[in-house]
Amino acid sequence: MAQDREQELAKAGRRAALLMAGTGVFWIGAIYIGSKMGLSGRTQALFDLIALAGFGWALWMTYDIWRKRQKDKG
C-alpha cells in the first residue's frame, strides 16, 4: 500500500513537471510568435496571464504533493 502511494505521488510529480515545462514552452512560443505577428500588447498580456495561471497551478500541485508527503511521514 505504501508503494502504491509513492507511485501515485511520483506520477503527480511528473504531471507537475510536465505542466511547468509545457507552460514555459507555451510562454516562450507565444512571446516569439506574438512579436513576429505584431500582436497587440493586450493580446500578449493575455498570454502572459495564461502562463501565470499555468505556473500557479503547477505551484499548487507541488505544494499538494509536499503536503501529502508530510502527512505520510507523521
Cell of 2: 505504501
Instruction: Find the distance separating the first CA and the last CA of the chain, reported in whole Å.
Output: 16
DSSP 3-state of 38: coil
Distances from the Cα of 9 to the Cαs of 24, 36, 49, 57, in angstroms? 23, 40, 28, 16
In tens, the pLDDT along 25-49 reads 999 999 999 999 999 999 999 999 9
Domain range enclosing 63 = 38-69
pTM of the prediction?
Answer: 0.87
- What is the number of domains present in the chain? 1
* Predicted confidence (pLDDT) at residue 74 exceeds the cutoff of 70: no
Residue 17 lies in a domain: no
Residue 26 lies in a domain: no
